[in-house]
Every structure is written in C-alpha cells, then in structure tokens.
Amino acid sequence: MHTPEQSMPTISWQHFEQTDIRVGTILEATEFPEARKPAYKLLIDLGPLGQKRSSAQITKHYTLEELPGKQVLCVANLGNKQIGKYMSEVLVTGFADENGDIVLAQPAGRVPNGSKLI
C-alpha cells in the first residue's frame, strides 16, 4: 500500500511568484556519457530568454530522436549548475513514475516559447 507523502510547508503567493517557470521547445538532444546517472544534454528555445542548456535524466522514457520539438516546463531563475564539465542553465521539470524514472512536465497544448507559468 502506498503511503502519501507529507505536504511541503505553505509558502506565500509572493514566494511562488519568484519562481520563474517558463515553457521552451527542445531544439536538440545529445548523449551525456560523462554524467554519473544516465542523462541527455538539451538545448532549449525559451523565446525572449534565448536558448538555454540543461541536463535531464530522462533516458528511460525518451529517445534522443523524439525530444526535438517537444515543449517542456523549465525553471529559468535557479542560476547555473555545473554538472561535470557541462553547465546547466535551466532546470527541466518532470514527475517520477512508479519506478522513479522521470516523465517530462509539458503544457497540454502548444504555447509561445518563453510563456510564464501563472
């Protein structure tokens, strides 16, 4: 039987508004053999924010060939994160499935790149 996780502490609306979640379209996906856990390197078009790089551990549900053209939700204001020799500029969001493998968070329909989650 699955036990529910505890909720996170309540935050203010002002704190939520400080999280900049934007939609972007994956332009290219490449192997990331240097990563400790299986991952891909992604180049994402975030419209007015430009093209950003990210590393994503999404190898169980997605192939390199199917990722270009997919829209994804990205946290754009976390700052850069060094992952080995690769600099990730945005966090691509997703949900863990029943095995802990990541399924991408995506808009239900196409929206302009750079649109902010509201």
- Tell me the pLDDT band of 41, cut-offs 50, 70 and 90: very high
Instruction: Say if residue 1's pLDDT is above 60.
Output: no
Domain residue ranges in the chain: 19-106
- Tell me the pLDDT band of 4, cut-offs 50, 70 and 90: low
CATH architecture entry for 19-106: Beta Barrel (2.40)
* DSSP track, 2-58: PPPPPPPPP--HHHHHTS-EEEEEEEEEEE-TTSSS--EEEEEE-GGG-EEEEEE--
CA 32, CA 64: separation in Å to the nearest integer? 11
CA 82, CA 9: separation in Å to the nearest integer? 28
The 10s digit of each residue's pLDDT in 57-80 is: 999 999 999 999 999 999 999 999
CA 113, CA 71: separation in Å to the nearest integer? 8
Least trusted range by pLDDT, from 13-17, 96-100, 108-112: 13-17
